[in-house]
Amino acid sequence: MEYKFREAVSKNQHIMDRFIFDKDFLNRLEHLVFLSKKIFSGEKGGVRRSGSYGSGLEYADHRQYNSGDDMRYIDWNLYGRSGKLYTKTFLEDEDINIYILIDRSRSMDYGLPSKLDYALTLSASLGYVGLSHLERVGAGYFSDNIERIIPPRRGKHHMSTYMDFLFSFVPGDGTDLNTSLENFSAQVKIPGLLVILSDFIDEKGYERGLNYLLFRKFDVHVLQVLSRQEIAPDLTGRFRLKSLEGDEYRDMDIDASDVESYQEELSRYNSGLRMFCESRGILYQQAITDIPFDRVLTEYFQRQL
């Protein structure tokens, strides 16, 4: 798999100008593959335990026997004790599709490293881990609408296609999370695990789009990508500020109290996103661009154990 990753990178020479895919990076990826093995269950790749009942190997519970049930799964010991027929139920094995959805709106082109570059590093790493476990991995990107999707595929050969896709675009225009997420859901016929990498900064909100994904039975994970410079800005004095997703300029005198008010507002916004996600069973995690990517993903995998 490491060779395939290097091969995929070599086909995208412009990547090397922005990212460091060296031996240390690959070693860190392999460590992530090792750590994540516990959440990619099943004897063969691409298999997880679903929440639905079937004839898989993992015992789940009993239920009363109904006419037509498979006689092989009757629990005769329980019948001997109770005089009633019960069948064993099992968690069903199923393939899962993993989708990585990346926000390429203009607000993502901010910070050092930029939020978009950091999101792409996380996306490349998640794809590598998923494909190493023989999962089906696909991807998409959006700004004010969903723009392009590559369908999930399995196998080492897909790494090159996946990398080509990730590094084929530049920051776009404004953001419309609700429209983008709804249209993504409409285009994808088979739900699966969806990991959204975005700063989630959108004055139009995100609630409707996330709710629609849940309605469509996606397992939604949110990685909110933020820059340290926007969390703790070092700004005092006279500045000309430009909207990240517009052409408006504003000249302002900024003092410490302005910075404090901004940080309080940003903290409230981020807390609202976190509480919205947690109240609906959506995994939420912040990904700050000055934190090593493998540390962020290690925490992400550990939270799923």
What are the tens digits of pLDDT across the range 76-116? 777 777 878 777 765 554 568 999 999 999 999 988 889 99
pLDDT over 70 percentage in the chain: 73
User: Nearest 5°: phi and psi at 224?
Assistant: -85, 110
With beta carbons less than 8 A apart as the criterion, state whether 246 and 213 touch. Answer: no
Task: Look at residue 223 in the predicted model and tell me its pLDDT.
Answer: 98
Distance set, CA 247 to CA 141, 167, 174, 204, 243 (Å): 23, 26, 11, 18, 6
Model confidence at 73, in pLDDT bands (50, 70, 90)?
confident
Q: What is residue 302's predicted lDDT score, i.e. its pLDDT?
A: 85
- Cβ neighbors of 128 (< 8 A, separation 6 or more) are 1, 5, 29, 32, 33, 159
Q: Tell me the CA distances in angstroms from 271 to 49, 200, 284, 290, one per residue in order.
A: 32, 12, 11, 20
Contacts of 289 (CB under 8 A, 6+ apart): 111, 112, 113, 114, 115, 118, 225, 226, 227, 228
Distance CA 291, CA 85 (A): 56
Domains and CATH numbers, the chain: 2-43+96-302 (3.40.50.410), 50-94 (no CATH)
Tokens representing 258?
């302005």
Please give the pLDDT value at position 94.
Answer: 57
pLDDT at residue 123, as a whole number: 96
What integer best gives the mean pLDDT of the chain? 80
Residue 140 neighbours by CB distance under 10 Å? 22
Residue 154 pLDDT > 60, yes or no?
yes
What is the average per-residue pLDDT within 202-208?
94
| Structure token digits, residue 244 | 């990240």
In terms of Cβ atoms closer than 10 Å to its own Cβ (0-12, 13-18, 19+), residue 51 is: exposed
At 60, which helix (H) or strand (E)? strand 58-64
Say whether pLDDT at 72 is over 80.
no
SS3 state at 7: helix
CA angle 194, 208, 126 (to 5 degrees): 15
- pLDDT tens figures, 234-245: 665 444 455 555
pTM across the whole model: 0.76
